[in-house]
Amino acid sequence: MDADDWLQTIESKLEIAHCVGHDRVLYAAHQLQGRAKDWWATYTATHPNAQAITWQEFCQSFRSHYVPSGEIKVKRKEFLELKQGSINVDTNDKKQDYFRDGLNPGIRYALSSNEYDTFQKLVDKAFTVERERKVLEVDRKRKIGFSGSVF
């Protein structure tokens, strides 16, 4: 999803800049353009205390505005109703097994040492691991780029 990709990019920049607290919100808001910038102006104008907006609130509000919950529900339902050939994925354990089998090996490895009560908890954790993996990759590329510099 484009909104999540944008947030991941901004989060990696915030980490590199060692940006914390409300400064994270200010930096991210400064990066917004076009309709997203208009959305933010409206959001802060109607917020009871715009100076108290946390990074978590910014991310949650941004995602809820740019990734409609209806779209998420439809995609989740489509995924849960997937069938592989004549195999019906009808139990929590089967869903988790098939989901794990389809994951990138690195993510599958990261999730393999834990048990999850529900399929949704596994999916949520997989998204978290993937997001963190992307942040690490950006950081790794940045370090490689700096190691070849003349500074």
What residues does each domain of the chain span?
2-66, 69-147
pTM for this model (two decimals): 0.49
Q: Which amino acid is at 119?
A: F
Q: What is the pLDDT of residue 50?
A: 93
Q: What is the pLDDT of residue 124?
A: 84
pLDDT in tens, 95-151: 888 888 888 888 888 888 888 898 888 888 888 888 888 888 877 877 777 665 544
Residues 29-46, mean pLDDT to the nearest whole number:
93
Give the mean pLDDT of 61-65.
86
**What does the longest C-alpha to C-alpha distance in the chain come to?**
60
Is the dihedral angle over the CA atoms 50, 52, 58, 64 positive or is it negative? negative
